[in-house]
């Protein structure tokens, strides 16, 4: 069975500090991968998507970057956090179609 | 660009009553996929149901929705709400089967009381 694992579960970080969030999908070969961000009380905003290793497309920048170093791994990062980066970050996968399965998410608080 | 509109931010109702959540969309694509996701407190969103067939009712876990391309709508309904239905409901749109983006509405919070 396929599983999606996000890490860390939660982070409290200082403004200006770096950030790295990870997502691993097991049990699926060559999935489409996505990063979504949900501000507190807000909707789900797509940040990035990737259909293959090494290729990432940006949808909304928000001073974040993403990479896909392995087929089953998707990384979200930034060199300098802003207060506005606080929120809930969700990784999702799909195969051919737009049926997304979301991970359990990472809650980020920037102070 | 594509967009999804959910007019109700909060719906409160008593257990056993029917519930309907509105969803309308805008897209230039002729064969969009529409989805309803449900997100319970402190959990991640989970697919509730989906459709791409015009005028065909889709059902899952007591909920149902029908895609009406003529009115660009995909309203979610349930005949009898349960306490466990309290959650945040998102309507979402993808331009096609191979769409790279899922556009979400602003969400409707449903609160069911005894």
**Which one has a higher pLDDT value, A42 or B69?**
B69
d(CA A86, CA A40): 8
Q: Are B100 and A99 an interchain contact pair (Cβ–Cβ within 8 Å)?
A: no
CA dist list (Å): B47 to A5, A21, A77: 18, 23, 27
- CB proximity A9 to B under 8 Å: no
Distance to chain A for B100, nearest Cα, Å: 7
Is residue B99 scored above 80 in pLDDT?
no
> Into how many domains does chain B fold?
1
For chain B, percent of residues with pLDDT exceeding 90 = 82
pLDDT tens string for chain A (111 positions)? Answer: 778 999 999 999 999 999 999 999 998 888 999 999 998 878 899 999 999 999 999 988 789 999 999 999 999 999 999 999 999 999 999 887 778 899 999 999 999
The answer to whether A49 contacts B99, with C-beta atoms less than 8 Å apart, is no
Note the CATH architecture for domain A3-110: Sandwich (2.60)
Residues A67 and A56 sit within 8 Å (Cβ to Cβ): yes
Q: Is residue B13 over pLDDT 70?
A: yes
Contact A102 B101 (CB under 8 A): no
Predicted local distance difference test score (pLDDT) of residue B101: 81
Q: Distance between CA A63 and CA A83 in Å, rounded?
A: 12
Q: Using CA atoms, how far apart are residues A64 and A18, in angstroms rounded to an integer?
A: 10
User: DSSP string spanning B47-108?
Assistant: EEEEE-STT-EEEETTEEEE-BTTTTB--EEESS--GGG-EEEEEEEESSTT-S--EE---E
In 3D space, the residue among A34, A33, A85 whose CA is nearest the CA of residue A62 turns out to be A85
Query: What confidence tier does B40 reach under pLDDT thresholds 50, 70, 90?
Result: very high
**How many residues are given for chain A?**
111
A90 CB within 8 Å of a chain B CB: yes
CATH number reported for the structural domain that contains residue B83 in this entry: 2.60.40.10
Mean pLDDT of B1-15: 94
pLDDT at A108: 97
Tokens of A16: 């200006």
Q: In terms of residue numbers, what domain contains B56?
A: 3-113
Any idea where the domains of chain A sit in the sequence?
3-110
Whether chain B has a CB inside 8 Å of the CB on A79: the answer is no
Residue A34, C-beta contacts closer than 8 angstroms, at least 6 positions apart? A46, A47, A48, A49, A50, A91, A92, A93, A94, A100, B102
Which of A44, A46, A101 minimises the CB distance to B90?
Answer: A44
């Amino acid at each position: 069975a396929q599983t999606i694992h996000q890490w860390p579960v939660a982070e409290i970080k200082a403004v200006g500090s770096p950030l790295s969030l990870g997502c691993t999908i097991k049990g699926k070969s060559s999935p489409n991968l996505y990063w979504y961000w949900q501000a507190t009380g807000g909707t789900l905003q797509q940040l990035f998507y990737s259909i293959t290793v090494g290729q990432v497309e940006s949808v909304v920048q928000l001073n974040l970057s993403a990479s896909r170093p392995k087929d089953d791994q998707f990384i979200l990062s930034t060199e300098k956090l802003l207060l506005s980066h606080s929120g809930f970050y969700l990784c999702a996968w799909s195969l051919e179609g737009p049926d997304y399965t979301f991970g359990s998410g990472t809650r980020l608080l920037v102070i | 660009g594509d967009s999804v509109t959910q007019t109700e931010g909060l719906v409160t109702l008593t257990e056993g009553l029917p519930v309907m959540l509105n969803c309308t969309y805008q897209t230039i694509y002729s064969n969009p996929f529409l989805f309803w996701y449900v997100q319970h407190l402190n959990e991640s969103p989970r697919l509730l149901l989906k459709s791409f067939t015009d005028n065909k009712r889709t059902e899952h876990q007591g909920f149902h929705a029908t895609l009406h391309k003529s009115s660009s709508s995909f309203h979610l309904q349930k005949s009898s709400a349960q306490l466990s239905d309290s959650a945040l409901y998102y309507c979402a749109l993808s331009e096609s089967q191979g769409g790279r983006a899922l556009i979400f509405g602003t969400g409707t919070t449903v609160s069911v009381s005894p």
